[in-house]
Amino acid sequence: MASAHNALRVFFILAVVCAVCTAKRTGANKEESAAAPGGAAGGSGGTFDISKLGATSDGKTDCTKAVQDAWTSACEATGSATVVIPKGDYLVGPLNFTGPCKGSNIAIQLDGNLLGSNDLDKYTASWIELSHVNNIGITGSGTLDGQGTAVYSKSKTDNVKAMPNFFHINIDNSESITVKDVNITAPADVENTDGVHVGGSSKISILNSTIGTGDDCVSIGPGCNGVLVDSITCGPGQGISVGCLGRYKDEKDVSDITVRNCVLKNTTNGVRIKSYVDAESVLTASHLTFENIRMEEVANPIVIDQYFCPQKVCPGKRSNSSHVSVKDVTFRNITGTSSTPEAISLLCSETQPCSGVSLIDVNVEYAGKNNKTMAVCSNAKGTAKGSIEALACLV
């Protein structure tokens, strides 16, 4: 984790990424990378190196135009194209990698470090945005450093017109995307710094990554189906969550979500499903599986909360009812320790009870001195098997 004096850092895409993709690409081959060393615009394809388009690697000179020009040339190319960010530090403002593009695929080879400008007058929304692009792959050992701590501090003291979104990776209205082998860090005390957020998307895989932020390591929002979260080390942060659900009108169902083989360390929550009390939308969250997960000193390891209302700001009329249905949820082989006695909290609505909940081999124990582990359940229907007796609170 970066300290509070360091920048928000991510080895992939920082700020909001809105990529409409139908396939992933892991990089260009050697022949493609060598095709056009000069980086000329257009043509049949080739390599577009930002250092040959005017970028200076001193970390102080604005290189936004060079990076944007490299993207434009790659997008205009009719064959396979590669944008190269070589080793060095390159200061950039907002970047819009927008399609549709002419070629068969685009690779972004990130070997250097892109540093986000702290000049807030340059921003209207995101720092780096991909949209309407198919067949794109981003690889490399470089860093995207939003230098977000300075921006966050400035927002607290100055009257700014617009702020870049603090989400690190935001996958929205997309299909067939893999996020793999990334390292995302942000100070633990900076709010709304989700590591990876997915909304309105399908066939999404988030794999083999380390995420430590001030909010959810991974959050899965409305309209998602076919999402796999596998082999994530999470902490600090607020855990891995499905939700928030029901905050806005016309939200869509969530289904077929799998979270497995993860380790959560000193997070405020472990695995969580959360929906707003008096939700604005009628929707269902179903076929959700959380399995093979290790908790290490997690405050609230397993949570279903149909009364979610942060800072007492709720979208509905506070009728104590829920329009979000939660069903067919499996918690399997969840082990480790909690930092509070309440290892399980399943708070479901009286008017919309949770159904089909399974607790299978759930053995999370309070790490405190009295070792008195507890579970709190209301209106949660299902079965428990192989779990410690104190956690078998389903009806």
| Closest CA relative to residue 152, chosen from 105, 196, 193 | 193
Q: In sequence order, what DSSP letters do the residues of 256-322 get, joined into one string? A: EEEEEEEEEES-S-SEEEEEETT-SS-EEEEEEEEEEEEEEEESSSEEEEEEE-GGG--SS---S--
Tell me what pLDDT residue 32 has. 36
44-145 maps to CATH 2.160.20.10: yes
Structure tokens at 365: 């124990």
Domain(s) labelled CATH 2.160.20.10 in the chain stretch across 44-145, 166-394
Tell me what pLDDT residue 278 has. 76
pLDDT tens-digit readout, 215-264? 999 999 999 999 999 999 999 999 999 999 998 889 999 999 999 999 99
pLDDT confidence tier of residue 313, bands split at 50, 70 and 90: low
Q: Which CATH number fits domain 166-394: 3.30.450.40, 2.140.10.10, 2.160.20.10, 2.40.110.10?
A: 2.160.20.10
Which of 30-39, 55-64, 107-116, 202-211 has the least mean pLDDT? 30-39
Tell me what pLDDT residue 65 has. 98
How many distinct helices (H) and strands (E) make up the chain?
Answer: 3, 28
Q: Which residue has the tokens 């135009």?
A: 65
Strand partners, 337: 365
pLDDT tens-digit readout, 135-169? 999 999 999 999 988 777 666 666 665 566 688 99
pTM reported for the whole predicted model: 0.88
Cis peptide before 244 (omega within 30 of 0): yes
Tell me what pLDDT residue 311 has. 66
pLDDT at 383 over 80: yes
pLDDT at 38 over 50: no
Cα separation of 89 and 364, whole Å? 45
Q: What is the mean pLDDT of the chain?
A: 86
Strand partners, 155: none
Q: Are 79 and 102 in contact (CB under 8 A)?
A: no
Q: H-helix or E-strand containing 357? A: strand 354-366
Characterise 176 by phi-psi region: left (phi > 0), alpha (psi -120 to 50), beta (else): left
- What number of residues does the chain have? 395
Cβ-in-10-Å burial (0-12, 13-18, 19+) of 161 comes to exposed
- What percent of the chain stands above pLDDT 70? 83
